[in-house]
Amino acid sequence: MSGEKIRLNTEWLCDCGGCHVALVDLHEKILNVLESVEIQKCPVLTDVKDYPEADIGILTGSIRTEHDRHAAMEMREKCKTIIAFGTCAVYGGLHGAGLAHTKEEIMDYVYKSTPTTKTDFIPATDITGLEKMVVPVDEVIDVDLYLPGCPPHAHFIFESLSSLVDGREPKTGQETVCAGCSRVMKKTDVAAIKDNLEGIPDDDVCFLSQGYICLGSVTLDRCLAPCPNHGVMCTGCAGPTMQILSEPNHDIRTEVSDRMSRLTAIKNEDIVGHIEKSAKTHYAYAMATKMIGDKPTFLIQKWIAEAEEAK
Amino acid sequence: MSKTIKIDPVTRIEGHARILLDCDDSGAVSNASFCVNELRGFERILVGMEASSMPQITARICGVCPTAHHLVAAKALDNAAGVEPPTAAKLLREFMYMGHYIHSHCLSLFVLAGPDLVFGLNGKMATQNIVGMVDAEPDLTKKGLRLRSLGQKINETIGGRGIHPVTAVAGGISFKLSDGQFTRLQELTAESVQLVNELAAKTKNLLFSLLDKNPVLL
Protein backbone atom coordinates (compact mmCIF):
# COMPACT_ATOMS: atom_id res chain seq x y z
CA MET A 1 0.00 0.00 0.00
CA SER A 2 1.19 3.50 -0.66
CA GLY A 3 0.08 6.95 0.39
CA GLU A 4 -3.26 6.96 2.15
CA LYS A 5 -3.53 5.12 5.43
CA ILE A 6 -6.10 2.38 5.85
CA ARG A 7 -8.97 3.67 8.00
CA LEU A 8 -10.00 1.32 10.82
CA ASN A 9 -13.08 1.30 13.02
CA THR A 10 -13.55 -1.11 15.88
CA GLU A 11 -16.61 -1.65 18.03
CA TRP A 12 -17.40 -4.00 20.89
CA LEU A 13 -20.81 -5.59 21.22
CA CYS A 14 -21.77 -8.09 23.93
CA ASP A 15 -18.37 -9.32 25.12
CA CYS A 16 -15.74 -9.22 27.84
CA GLY A 17 -13.50 -6.65 26.13
CA GLY A 18 -10.67 -9.20 25.87
CA CYS A 19 -10.52 -9.00 22.08
CA HIS A 20 -9.89 -5.27 22.25
CA VAL A 21 -7.22 -5.88 24.90
CA ALA A 22 -5.74 -8.47 22.51
CA LEU A 23 -5.50 -5.80 19.80
CA VAL A 24 -3.65 -3.50 22.19
CA ASP A 25 -1.59 -6.56 23.22
CA LEU A 26 0.15 -6.46 19.87
CA HIS A 27 2.33 -4.29 22.15
CA GLU A 28 5.25 -2.73 20.29
CA LYS A 29 3.95 -4.31 17.08
CA ILE A 30 0.89 -2.07 17.31
CA LEU A 31 3.22 0.79 16.41
CA ASN A 32 4.10 -1.10 13.17
CA VAL A 33 0.41 -1.52 12.41
CA LEU A 34 -0.19 2.18 13.09
CA GLU A 35 2.30 3.13 10.38
CA SER A 36 -0.18 2.00 7.75
CA VAL A 37 -3.48 2.13 9.66
CA GLU A 38 -5.40 5.11 10.98
CA ILE A 39 -7.50 4.16 13.99
CA GLN A 40 -10.74 6.15 13.93
CA LYS A 41 -13.45 4.72 16.16
CA CYS A 42 -12.11 2.39 18.84
CA PRO A 43 -13.78 2.53 22.27
CA VAL A 44 -10.61 1.74 24.22
CA LEU A 45 -8.25 3.98 22.27
CA THR A 46 -10.12 7.01 20.94
CA ASP A 47 -13.04 9.25 21.89
CA VAL A 48 -14.88 8.97 18.55
CA LYS A 49 -18.50 8.20 19.40
CA ASP A 50 -20.10 8.01 15.94
CA TYR A 51 -19.21 5.74 13.04
CA PRO A 52 -16.93 7.38 10.44
CA GLU A 53 -16.49 5.87 6.94
CA ALA A 54 -13.76 3.22 7.14
CA ASP A 55 -11.95 0.63 5.07
CA ILE A 56 -11.86 -2.05 7.75
CA GLY A 57 -14.29 -2.60 10.61
CA ILE A 58 -13.47 -4.97 13.45
CA LEU A 59 -16.49 -6.18 15.42
CA THR A 60 -15.97 -8.07 18.66
CA GLY A 61 -18.76 -9.63 20.73
CA SER A 62 -22.11 -11.08 19.84
CA ILE A 63 -25.58 -9.59 19.53
CA ARG A 64 -27.44 -9.66 22.86
CA THR A 65 -29.27 -6.31 22.95
CA GLU A 66 -30.92 -3.87 20.57
CA HIS A 67 -27.89 -1.65 21.23
CA ASP A 68 -25.57 -4.37 19.86
CA ARG A 69 -27.77 -4.90 16.80
CA HIS A 70 -27.80 -1.19 16.01
CA ALA A 71 -24.02 -0.86 16.44
CA ALA A 72 -23.37 -3.83 14.12
CA MET A 73 -25.62 -2.34 11.43
CA GLU A 74 -23.93 1.07 11.70
CA MET A 75 -20.53 -0.59 11.33
CA ARG A 76 -21.68 -2.55 8.26
CA GLU A 77 -22.97 0.60 6.63
CA LYS A 78 -19.75 2.54 7.17
CA CYS A 79 -17.01 -0.11 6.73
CA LYS A 80 -16.00 -1.68 3.42
CA THR A 81 -14.69 -4.88 5.03
CA ILE A 82 -16.10 -6.31 8.25
CA ILE A 83 -14.11 -8.74 10.40
CA ALA A 84 -16.01 -10.80 12.95
CA PHE A 85 -13.23 -10.86 15.54
CA GLY A 86 -13.16 -13.39 18.37
CA THR A 87 -15.32 -16.36 19.25
CA CYS A 88 -18.29 -14.25 20.45
CA ALA A 89 -18.57 -12.43 17.12
CA VAL A 90 -18.09 -15.62 15.10
CA TYR A 91 -20.05 -18.21 17.12
CA GLY A 92 -21.80 -16.31 19.92
CA GLY A 93 -19.18 -17.08 22.54
CA LEU A 94 -19.39 -18.40 26.08
CA HIS A 95 -22.52 -16.47 26.99
CA GLY A 96 -24.23 -18.32 24.14
CA ALA A 97 -24.83 -20.79 26.98
CA GLY A 98 -27.45 -18.24 28.03
CA LEU A 99 -29.60 -19.84 25.34
CA ALA A 100 -30.22 -22.61 27.85
CA HIS A 101 -32.36 -20.07 29.74
CA THR A 102 -35.04 -17.57 28.85
CA LYS A 103 -34.06 -13.91 29.00
CA GLU A 104 -36.61 -13.42 31.80
CA GLU A 105 -34.92 -16.16 33.83
CA ILE A 106 -31.53 -14.48 33.35
CA MET A 107 -32.78 -10.97 34.19
CA ASP A 108 -34.67 -12.19 37.26
CA TYR A 109 -31.72 -14.16 38.55
CA VAL A 110 -29.18 -11.39 38.00
CA TYR A 111 -31.20 -8.49 39.39
CA LYS A 112 -33.32 -10.17 42.04
CA SER A 113 -32.48 -13.66 43.22
CA THR A 114 -28.71 -14.18 43.37
CA PRO A 115 -27.70 -14.53 47.04
CA THR A 116 -25.36 -11.53 46.84
CA THR A 117 -27.86 -9.21 45.12
CA LYS A 118 -29.61 -6.76 47.40
CA THR A 119 -32.02 -5.22 44.89
CA ASP A 120 -35.40 -6.72 44.08
CA PHE A 121 -36.27 -4.93 40.85
CA ILE A 122 -35.09 -4.89 37.25
CA PRO A 123 -34.03 -1.38 36.16
CA ALA A 124 -36.63 -0.36 33.63
CA THR A 125 -35.37 2.57 31.63
CA ASP A 126 -31.61 3.01 31.87
CA ILE A 127 -30.46 -0.36 30.58
CA THR A 128 -31.09 -1.88 27.18
CA GLY A 129 -33.00 -5.10 27.75
CA LEU A 130 -31.78 -8.42 26.43
CA GLU A 131 -33.07 -9.73 23.12
CA LYS A 132 -34.63 -13.16 23.19
CA MET A 133 -31.55 -14.86 21.72
CA VAL A 134 -27.76 -14.47 21.70
CA VAL A 135 -26.62 -14.54 18.08
CA PRO A 136 -23.31 -14.25 16.21
CA VAL A 137 -22.69 -11.08 14.21
CA ASP A 138 -23.45 -12.67 10.82
CA GLU A 139 -27.04 -13.32 11.86
CA VAL A 140 -27.53 -9.56 11.70
CA ILE A 141 -25.12 -8.26 9.04
CA ASP A 142 -22.92 -9.66 6.25
CA VAL A 143 -19.42 -10.51 7.42
CA ASP A 144 -16.37 -10.60 5.14
CA LEU A 145 -13.76 -12.27 7.35
CA TYR A 146 -13.93 -14.47 10.43
CA LEU A 147 -11.24 -14.66 13.10
CA PRO A 148 -12.37 -16.80 16.04
CA GLY A 149 -10.32 -17.26 19.22
CA CYS A 150 -10.98 -16.27 22.82
CA PRO A 151 -9.16 -14.05 22.14
CA PRO A 152 -7.22 -14.99 18.99
CA HIS A 153 -3.48 -15.27 19.68
CA ALA A 154 -1.42 -12.23 18.63
CA HIS A 155 0.19 -14.37 15.91
CA PHE A 156 -3.17 -14.69 14.11
CA ILE A 157 -4.21 -11.07 14.73
CA PHE A 158 -0.97 -9.71 13.31
CA GLU A 159 -1.18 -12.01 10.30
CA SER A 160 -4.79 -10.98 9.61
CA LEU A 161 -4.16 -7.26 9.90
CA SER A 162 -0.90 -7.41 7.91
CA SER A 163 -2.57 -9.38 5.12
CA LEU A 164 -5.36 -6.81 4.87
CA VAL A 165 -2.85 -3.96 4.86
CA ASP A 166 -0.78 -5.71 2.17
CA GLY A 167 -3.87 -6.66 0.19
CA ARG A 168 -3.21 -10.41 0.23
CA GLU A 169 -5.01 -13.52 1.49
CA PRO A 170 -4.29 -14.20 5.18
CA LYS A 171 -2.19 -17.30 5.81
CA THR A 172 -4.36 -19.12 8.31
CA GLY A 173 -4.31 -22.88 8.76
CA GLN A 174 -7.19 -25.16 9.64
CA GLU A 175 -5.26 -27.20 12.21
CA THR A 176 -6.84 -28.28 15.46
CA VAL A 177 -5.40 -27.47 18.89
CA CYS A 178 -3.85 -30.97 18.84
CA ALA A 179 -1.42 -29.80 16.13
CA GLY A 180 0.26 -27.50 18.63
CA CYS A 181 0.05 -29.88 21.60
CA SER A 182 3.21 -31.72 22.66
CA ARG A 183 1.38 -34.63 24.31
CA VAL A 184 1.51 -38.07 22.69
CA MET A 185 -1.59 -40.14 21.97
CA LYS A 186 -1.30 -43.75 23.08
CA LYS A 187 -3.62 -46.68 23.65
CA THR A 188 -4.31 -47.25 27.34
CA ASP A 189 -6.54 -49.50 29.42
CA VAL A 190 -8.16 -46.57 31.27
CA ALA A 191 -11.69 -47.79 31.91
CA ALA A 192 -13.58 -44.74 33.18
CA ILE A 193 -13.85 -41.02 32.44
CA LYS A 194 -12.03 -38.90 35.00
CA ASP A 195 -13.19 -35.58 36.37
CA ASN A 196 -10.79 -32.78 35.38
CA LEU A 197 -9.60 -32.54 38.97
CA GLU A 198 -9.14 -36.25 39.58
CA GLY A 199 -5.52 -37.33 40.05
CA ILE A 200 -2.51 -35.57 38.55
CA PRO A 201 -2.39 -35.95 34.77
CA ASP A 202 0.79 -37.23 33.09
CA ASP A 203 2.45 -34.25 31.35
CA ASP A 204 3.48 -36.16 28.24
CA VAL A 205 0.41 -38.23 27.38
CA CYS A 206 -2.75 -37.11 25.54
CA PHE A 207 -5.53 -36.19 27.98
CA LEU A 208 -7.98 -38.42 26.09
CA SER A 209 -5.65 -41.42 26.55
CA GLN A 210 -5.69 -40.69 30.29
CA GLY A 211 -9.49 -40.53 30.51
CA TYR A 212 -9.87 -36.75 30.67
CA ILE A 213 -12.30 -34.93 28.33
CA CYS A 214 -10.22 -32.53 26.23
CA LEU A 215 -11.71 -30.67 23.26
CA GLY A 216 -8.37 -30.07 21.51
CA SER A 217 -9.14 -32.47 18.65
CA VAL A 218 -12.41 -30.73 17.77
CA THR A 219 -11.26 -27.14 18.26
CA LEU A 220 -9.72 -24.82 15.68
CA ASP A 221 -6.22 -23.64 16.61
CA ARG A 222 -6.32 -19.88 17.01
CA CYS A 223 -4.35 -20.00 20.28
CA LEU A 224 -1.14 -22.05 19.68
CA ALA A 225 -2.34 -24.66 22.20
CA PRO A 226 -1.39 -23.10 25.54
CA CYS A 227 -3.84 -25.12 27.64
CA PRO A 228 -2.74 -28.74 27.01
CA ASN A 229 0.88 -27.55 27.14
CA HIS A 230 0.23 -26.18 30.64
CA GLY A 231 -1.55 -29.18 32.10
CA VAL A 232 -5.10 -28.00 31.37
CA MET A 233 -7.64 -29.65 29.05
CA CYS A 234 -8.84 -27.64 26.04
CA THR A 235 -12.29 -26.17 26.66
CA GLY A 236 -12.95 -25.35 23.01
CA CYS A 237 -12.85 -21.58 23.33
CA ALA A 238 -11.91 -20.87 19.68
CA GLY A 239 -14.93 -22.82 18.50
CA PRO A 240 -15.23 -26.09 16.60
CA THR A 241 -13.41 -27.09 13.40
CA MET A 242 -15.12 -26.72 10.01
CA GLN A 243 -15.56 -30.49 9.86
CA ILE A 244 -17.68 -30.41 13.01
CA LEU A 245 -19.60 -27.34 11.91
CA SER A 246 -20.33 -28.36 8.35
CA GLU A 247 -21.27 -32.03 8.58
CA PRO A 248 -24.67 -32.76 10.13
CA ASN A 249 -23.61 -36.10 11.56
CA HIS A 250 -20.41 -34.87 13.14
CA ASP A 251 -20.54 -33.14 16.46
CA ILE A 252 -18.28 -32.31 19.40
CA ARG A 253 -19.45 -35.35 21.36
CA THR A 254 -19.33 -37.84 18.47
CA GLU A 255 -15.80 -36.84 17.44
CA VAL A 256 -14.38 -36.78 20.96
CA SER A 257 -16.02 -40.11 21.83
CA ASP A 258 -14.76 -41.76 18.60
CA ARG A 259 -11.19 -40.77 19.32
CA MET A 260 -11.28 -41.31 23.08
CA SER A 261 -12.91 -44.74 22.87
CA ARG A 262 -10.18 -45.88 20.47
CA LEU A 263 -7.45 -44.58 22.82
CA THR A 264 -8.91 -46.07 26.02
CA ALA A 265 -11.10 -48.92 27.22
CA ILE A 266 -14.03 -46.53 27.76
CA LYS A 267 -17.17 -47.26 25.74
CA ASN A 268 -18.14 -44.81 23.02
CA GLU A 269 -21.70 -44.40 24.34
CA ASP A 270 -20.45 -43.68 27.86
CA ILE A 271 -18.39 -40.78 26.54
CA VAL A 272 -21.29 -39.44 24.46
CA GLY A 273 -23.54 -39.67 27.53
CA HIS A 274 -20.98 -37.91 29.72
CA ILE A 275 -20.59 -34.98 27.28
CA GLU A 276 -24.37 -34.66 26.91
CA LYS A 277 -24.71 -34.44 30.70
CA SER A 278 -22.11 -31.65 30.79
CA ALA A 279 -23.21 -30.12 27.46
CA LYS A 280 -23.59 -26.63 28.87
CA THR A 281 -19.84 -26.61 29.62
CA HIS A 282 -18.65 -28.32 26.45
CA TYR A 283 -20.86 -26.58 23.90
CA ALA A 284 -20.95 -23.14 25.53
CA TYR A 285 -18.69 -21.24 23.15
CA ALA A 286 -20.48 -22.24 19.96
CA MET A 287 -24.02 -23.22 20.84
CA ALA A 288 -25.37 -19.85 19.64
CA THR A 289 -24.30 -20.48 16.05
CA LYS A 290 -26.91 -22.11 13.84
CA MET A 291 -24.18 -24.40 12.56
CA ILE A 292 -24.34 -26.14 15.97
CA GLY A 293 -27.78 -25.09 17.20
CA ASP A 294 -29.59 -26.34 14.09
CA LYS A 295 -27.99 -29.79 14.03
CA PRO A 296 -30.76 -32.36 14.25
CA THR A 297 -28.84 -34.24 16.93
CA PHE A 298 -28.10 -31.21 19.14
CA LEU A 299 -30.65 -31.47 21.94
CA ILE A 300 -29.18 -29.04 24.45
CA GLN A 301 -32.44 -28.18 26.25
CA LYS A 302 -33.22 -31.87 26.75
CA TRP A 303 -29.70 -32.69 27.98
CA ILE A 304 -29.68 -29.81 30.45
CA ALA A 305 -33.16 -30.68 31.74
CA GLU A 306 -32.11 -34.31 32.20
CA ALA A 307 -28.89 -33.34 33.96
CA GLU A 308 -30.76 -31.03 36.34
CA GLU A 309 -33.40 -33.66 37.00
CA ALA A 310 -30.75 -36.25 37.86
CA LYS A 311 -29.40 -34.06 40.69
CA MET B 1 -35.78 23.68 29.73
CA SER B 2 -35.05 20.29 31.23
CA LYS B 3 -32.87 17.96 29.22
CA THR B 4 -30.80 14.80 29.42
CA ILE B 5 -27.10 14.88 28.66
CA LYS B 6 -25.99 11.54 27.31
CA ILE B 7 -22.38 10.34 27.09
CA ASP B 8 -22.60 7.14 25.08
CA PRO B 9 -20.32 5.35 24.97
CA VAL B 10 -17.91 6.46 27.68
CA THR B 11 -14.60 5.89 25.90
CA ARG B 12 -11.11 4.98 27.10
CA ILE B 13 -12.36 3.07 30.14
CA GLU B 14 -12.04 -0.61 31.02
CA GLY B 15 -15.48 -1.65 29.85
CA HIS B 16 -18.80 -0.78 28.24
CA ALA B 17 -20.70 2.11 29.84
CA ARG B 18 -22.80 5.19 29.28
CA ILE B 19 -23.64 8.16 31.48
CA LEU B 20 -27.00 9.91 31.61
CA LEU B 21 -27.40 13.27 33.34
CA ASP B 22 -30.92 14.66 33.73
CA CYS B 23 -30.92 18.45 34.11
CA ASP B 24 -33.81 20.57 35.34
CA ASP B 25 -35.03 23.92 33.95
CA SER B 26 -32.22 25.84 35.63
CA GLY B 27 -29.59 23.47 34.22
CA ALA B 28 -28.86 21.82 37.58
CA VAL B 29 -28.41 18.05 37.56
CA SER B 30 -31.56 16.42 38.95
CA ASN B 31 -30.63 12.79 38.37
CA ALA B 32 -27.50 10.98 37.22
CA SER B 33 -26.93 7.41 36.18
CA PHE B 34 -23.91 5.41 35.18
CA CYS B 35 -25.06 2.39 33.18
CA VAL B 36 -22.83 -0.61 32.68
CA ASN B 37 -24.86 -2.25 30.00
CA GLU B 38 -22.86 -5.41 29.63
CA LEU B 39 -25.21 -8.02 30.95
CA ARG B 40 -24.48 -11.53 29.84
CA GLY B 41 -26.00 -13.33 32.80
CA PHE B 42 -22.96 -15.20 34.13
CA GLU B 43 -24.77 -15.47 37.47
CA ARG B 44 -27.31 -17.78 35.84
CA ILE B 45 -25.22 -19.28 33.03
CA LEU B 46 -22.60 -20.75 35.38
CA VAL B 47 -25.17 -22.73 37.35
CA GLY B 48 -25.12 -26.28 36.00
CA MET B 49 -21.68 -26.06 34.41
CA GLU B 50 -18.80 -28.27 35.54
CA ALA B 51 -17.21 -26.75 38.64
CA SER B 52 -13.71 -27.77 37.59
CA SER B 53 -13.97 -25.57 34.46
CA MET B 54 -14.88 -22.46 36.44
CA PRO B 55 -11.41 -20.83 36.54
CA GLN B 56 -11.30 -20.92 32.72
CA ILE B 57 -14.91 -19.86 32.30
CA THR B 58 -15.16 -17.06 34.87
CA ALA B 59 -12.09 -15.38 33.33
CA ARG B 60 -14.43 -14.54 30.42
CA ILE B 61 -16.42 -12.22 32.67
CA CYS B 62 -13.83 -9.57 31.86
CA GLY B 63 -11.05 -9.55 29.30
CA VAL B 64 -9.44 -6.54 30.96
CA CYS B 65 -9.07 -8.18 34.39
CA PRO B 66 -9.39 -11.90 33.57
CA THR B 67 -6.65 -12.97 35.99
CA ALA B 68 -8.67 -11.70 38.97
CA HIS B 69 -11.74 -13.73 37.96
CA HIS B 70 -9.57 -16.73 37.12
CA LEU B 71 -7.82 -16.78 40.49
CA VAL B 72 -10.95 -16.15 42.53
CA ALA B 73 -12.68 -19.12 40.91
CA ALA B 74 -9.64 -21.29 41.69
CA LYS B 75 -9.73 -20.11 45.31
CA ALA B 76 -13.44 -20.91 45.49
CA LEU B 77 -12.62 -24.44 44.29
CA ASP B 78 -9.83 -24.70 46.92
CA ASN B 79 -12.38 -23.78 49.58
CA ALA B 80 -15.04 -26.10 48.23
CA ALA B 81 -12.60 -29.00 48.16
CA GLY B 82 -11.16 -28.03 51.56
CA VAL B 83 -7.61 -28.01 50.23
CA GLU B 84 -4.71 -25.63 50.83
CA PRO B 85 -2.45 -25.08 47.80
CA PRO B 86 1.27 -25.67 48.40
CA THR B 87 3.40 -22.57 48.98
CA ALA B 88 4.97 -22.71 45.51
CA ALA B 89 1.52 -22.68 43.90
CA LYS B 90 0.36 -19.78 46.05
CA LEU B 91 3.45 -17.80 45.09
CA LEU B 92 3.02 -18.59 41.40
CA ARG B 93 -0.60 -17.45 41.55
CA GLU B 94 0.48 -14.24 43.24
CA PHE B 95 3.29 -13.74 40.73
CA MET B 96 0.81 -14.25 37.88
CA TYR B 97 -1.42 -11.65 39.46
CA MET B 98 1.42 -9.15 39.84
CA GLY B 99 2.14 -9.53 36.12
CA HIS B 100 -1.50 -8.84 35.39
CA TYR B 101 -1.42 -5.91 37.79
CA ILE B 102 1.41 -4.27 35.85
CA HIS B 103 -0.35 -4.95 32.54
CA SER B 104 -3.71 -3.61 33.68
CA HIS B 105 -2.36 -0.54 35.45
CA CYS B 106 -0.23 0.38 32.45
CA LEU B 107 -3.33 0.10 30.26
CA SER B 108 -5.14 2.48 32.58
CA LEU B 109 -2.27 4.85 33.15
CA PHE B 110 -0.75 5.10 29.67
CA VAL B 111 -3.35 3.93 27.12
CA LEU B 112 -6.66 4.99 28.67
CA ALA B 113 -5.90 7.97 30.95
CA GLY B 114 -2.51 8.74 29.40
CA PRO B 115 -3.80 11.11 26.71
CA ASP B 116 -5.54 13.20 29.41
CA LEU B 117 -2.32 13.32 31.45
CA VAL B 118 -0.28 14.45 28.47
CA PHE B 119 -2.72 16.76 26.69
CA GLY B 120 -4.97 17.87 29.58
CA LEU B 121 -8.73 17.53 29.66
CA ASN B 122 -9.41 19.82 26.70
CA GLY B 123 -7.10 18.34 24.10
CA LYS B 124 -8.11 17.82 20.48
CA MET B 125 -10.16 14.69 19.89
CA ALA B 126 -7.98 13.68 16.93
CA THR B 127 -4.84 13.45 19.06
CA GLN B 128 -6.33 12.58 22.47
CA ASN B 129 -5.25 8.95 22.10
CA ILE B 130 -2.25 6.61 22.16
CA VAL B 131 -1.25 7.63 18.61
CA GLY B 132 -1.12 11.30 19.58
CA MET B 133 0.83 10.34 22.69
CA VAL B 134 3.49 8.50 20.69
CA ASP B 135 4.07 11.72 18.73
CA ALA B 136 4.04 14.04 21.76
CA GLU B 137 5.82 11.86 24.32
CA PRO B 138 7.57 9.07 22.40
CA ASP B 139 9.86 7.98 25.23
CA LEU B 140 7.19 7.85 27.93
CA THR B 141 4.65 6.16 25.65
CA LYS B 142 6.98 3.53 24.24
CA LYS B 143 8.33 2.68 27.69
CA GLY B 144 4.78 2.55 29.06
CA LEU B 145 3.72 0.15 26.32
CA ARG B 146 6.87 -1.89 26.88
CA LEU B 147 6.19 -2.14 30.64
CA ARG B 148 2.61 -3.16 29.88
CA SER B 149 3.88 -5.91 27.58
CA LEU B 150 6.30 -7.18 30.26
CA GLY B 151 3.44 -7.48 32.75
CA GLN B 152 1.41 -9.44 30.24
CA LYS B 153 4.38 -11.69 29.45
CA ILE B 154 4.77 -12.50 33.17
CA ASN B 155 1.05 -13.22 33.37
CA GLU B 156 1.27 -15.38 30.25
CA THR B 157 4.38 -17.28 31.32
CA ILE B 158 2.65 -18.43 34.52
CA GLY B 159 -0.98 -18.37 33.39
CA GLY B 160 -0.41 -20.14 30.08
CA ARG B 161 -2.29 -17.33 28.38
CA GLY B 162 -2.29 -13.59 29.07
CA ILE B 163 -5.91 -12.79 28.36
CA HIS B 164 -7.94 -15.55 29.98
CA PRO B 165 -5.21 -17.45 31.85
CA VAL B 166 -5.81 -21.14 32.55
CA THR B 167 -3.30 -22.65 34.98
CA ALA B 168 -4.85 -21.99 38.41
CA VAL B 169 -6.79 -25.12 39.36
CA ALA B 170 -8.30 -26.41 42.59
CA GLY B 171 -5.39 -27.09 44.94
CA GLY B 172 -2.72 -25.17 43.07
CA ILE B 173 -1.20 -24.65 39.65
CA SER B 174 -1.46 -27.09 36.75
CA PHE B 175 2.09 -27.14 35.44
CA LYS B 176 5.72 -27.21 36.57
CA LEU B 177 7.76 -24.10 35.90
CA SER B 178 10.70 -25.06 33.67
CA ASP B 179 14.22 -23.67 34.15
CA GLY B 180 13.77 -21.69 30.95
CA GLN B 181 10.54 -20.17 32.22
CA PHE B 182 12.16 -19.37 35.55
CA THR B 183 15.01 -17.50 33.85
CA ARG B 184 12.54 -15.69 31.60
CA LEU B 185 10.54 -14.53 34.62
CA GLN B 186 13.73 -13.20 36.23
CA GLU B 187 14.53 -11.23 33.08
CA LEU B 188 10.99 -9.89 32.73
CA THR B 189 10.93 -8.84 36.37
CA ALA B 190 14.33 -7.12 36.23
CA GLU B 191 13.37 -5.12 33.15
CA SER B 192 10.00 -4.21 34.72
CA VAL B 193 11.66 -2.84 37.85
CA GLN B 194 14.07 -0.80 35.75
CA LEU B 195 11.26 0.64 33.61
CA VAL B 196 9.10 1.51 36.62
CA ASN B 197 12.04 3.45 38.05
CA GLU B 198 12.45 5.31 34.78
CA LEU B 199 8.73 6.06 34.38
CA ALA B 200 7.65 6.83 37.95
CA ALA B 201 8.86 10.42 38.36
CA LYS B 202 7.61 11.62 34.99
CA THR B 203 4.23 9.94 35.42
CA LYS B 204 3.83 11.32 38.93
CA ASN B 205 4.57 14.83 37.65
CA LEU B 206 1.97 14.49 34.91
CA LEU B 207 -0.62 13.27 37.43
CA PHE B 208 0.07 16.06 39.90
CA SER B 209 0.07 18.70 37.20
CA LEU B 210 -3.32 17.46 35.91
CA LEU B 211 -4.69 17.73 39.46
CA ASP B 212 -3.17 21.19 39.96
CA LYS B 213 -4.82 22.42 36.78
CA ASN B 214 -8.13 20.72 37.55
CA PRO B 215 -8.71 20.79 41.32
CA VAL B 216 -12.28 19.64 40.67
CA LEU B 217 -10.89 16.16 40.05
CA LEU B 218 -9.88 15.80 43.69
The rounded percent of chain B whose pLDDT value lies above 70 is 100
Nearest to residue A104, comparing CAs of A69, A135, A67, A129? A129
Put simply, the chain A residues between 234 and 253 with a CB less than 8 A from any chain B CB are: 235, 237
- Given this model, what pLDDT does residue A1 score? 42
Name the residue ranges covered by the structural domains of chain A.
Answer: 6-96+125-166, 177-309
Q: Are A172 and A240 in contact (CB under 8 A)?
A: no
Contact check, Cβ <8 Å, A281/B45: no
Name the residue ranges covered by the structural domains of chain B.
Answer: 1-39, 50-217
Check if A199 contacts B (Cβ < 8 Å): no
B50-217 CATH pick, 3.40.50.150, 3.40.50.410, 2.40.40.20, 1.10.645.10: 1.10.645.10
Q: Are A37 and A161 in contact (CB under 8 A)?
A: yes
Q: Above 70 in pLDDT, residue A2?
A: no
Put simply, the chain A residues between 206 and 225 with a CB less than 8 A from any chain B CB are: 223
- Given this model, what pLDDT does residue B42 score? 94
Put simply, the chain A residues between 80 and 99 with a CB less than 8 A from any chain B CB are: 93-95, 97-98
Q: Are B22 and B31 in contact (CB under 8 A)?
A: yes
pLDDT in tens, A171-223: 888 999 999 999 999 999 999 999 988 899 999 999 999 999 999 999 999 99
- Confidence label for A271 from pLDDT (cuts 50, 70 and 90): very high
Query: What letter represents residue A116's amino acid?
Result: T
pLDDT in tens, A29-53: 777 777 888 999 999 999 999 999 9
Question: Alpha-carbon distance A148 to B203, whole Å?
Answer: 37
The rounded percent of chain B whose pLDDT value lies above 90 is 84
Nearest to B161 among A20, A30, A226 (CB): A226
The rounded percent of chain A whose pLDDT value lies above 90 is 67
pLDDT, mean of residues B33-55: 90
Alpha-carbon dihedral angle through residues B37, A102, B164, A299, given to the nearest 10 degrees: -160
Give the ipTM of the model, two decimals please: 0.94
Q: Above 70 in pLDDT, residue A125?
A: no
pLDDT in tens, B68-120: 999 999 999 999 999 999 999 999 999 999 999 999 999 999 999 999 999 99
Tell me the Ramachandran region of residue A65: left when phi exceeds 0, alpha when psi lies from -120 to 50, beta otherwise.
beta
* CATH T-level assignment (fold) for domain A6-96+125-166: Rossmann fold (3.40.50)
Most B-contacting residue of A153, A155, A230 (CB-CB within 10 A), to test interface? A230
Burial class (CB in 10 A: 0-12, 13-18, 19+), B43: middle
Nearest to residue A296, comparing CAs of A267, A239, A254, A261? A254
- Given this model, what pLDDT does residue A254 score? 94
Contact check, Cβ <8 Å, A16/B60: yes
- Given this model, what pLDDT does residue A310 score? 77
